[in-house]
Amino acid sequence: MQRIFVFGSNLAGRHGAGSARFAMERHGAKLGVGEGRTGNSYAIPTKDEYLRTLPLFEINEYVDKFLDYAVDNPDLEFDLVAIGCGLAGYKPKDIAPMFANAPKNVHKPKEFM
């Protein structure tokens, strides 16, 4: 089964640090693509195009899009990192509830359990 690396990104698609850089270097994330699937990765925006942290309600909208994608692609396995909990500055208790109803093919990080 194909594994997809799911990481926090910015809407400008600048993958310069953290899990975004790892996604670009190891999983095919493309510069300039700040949302959705590229290569073996899936970007969930946690920052805007100016690298300002998005409000939780906006991040939740992108998380919902991702979860719909995961449901529509049961043949894929998604390895989620603790998005929003690094450079974006949120705590796992802020983000984890957004993934409460994630399908079984989304593997959550221990911080979100």
Taking only the tens place, the pLDDT of each residue in 56-84 is 999 999 999 999 999 999 999 999 999 99
Interval 27-55 mean pLDDT: 98
Domain carrying residue 51:
2-112
Taking only the tens place, the pLDDT of each residue in 7-16 is 999 999 999 9
> Helix or strand or coil: residue 110?
helix
Domain count, the chain: 1
Q: With 90 as the cut, is the pLDDT of residue 24 above it? A: yes
Report the pLDDT value the prediction gives residue 70, as an integer from 0 to 100: 98
Whole-number Å distance between alpha carbons of 12 and 49? 4
- Taking all residues of the chain, what is their mean pLDDT, rounded to a whole number? 97
Give the CATH number, domain containing residue 103.
3.40.220.10
Nearest of 80, 97, 78, 83 to residue 18 by alpha carbon? 83
Confidence class of residue 1 from pLDDT cuts 50, 70 and 90?
confident
DSSP letter string, 2-45:
EEEEEEEEETT----SHHHHHHHHHH---TT--SEEETTEEEEE
Report the pLDDT value the prediction gives residue 39, as an integer from 0 to 100: 97
Q: What angle do CA 22, 25, 72 make, to 5 degrees?
A: 70
The reported pTM is 0.97
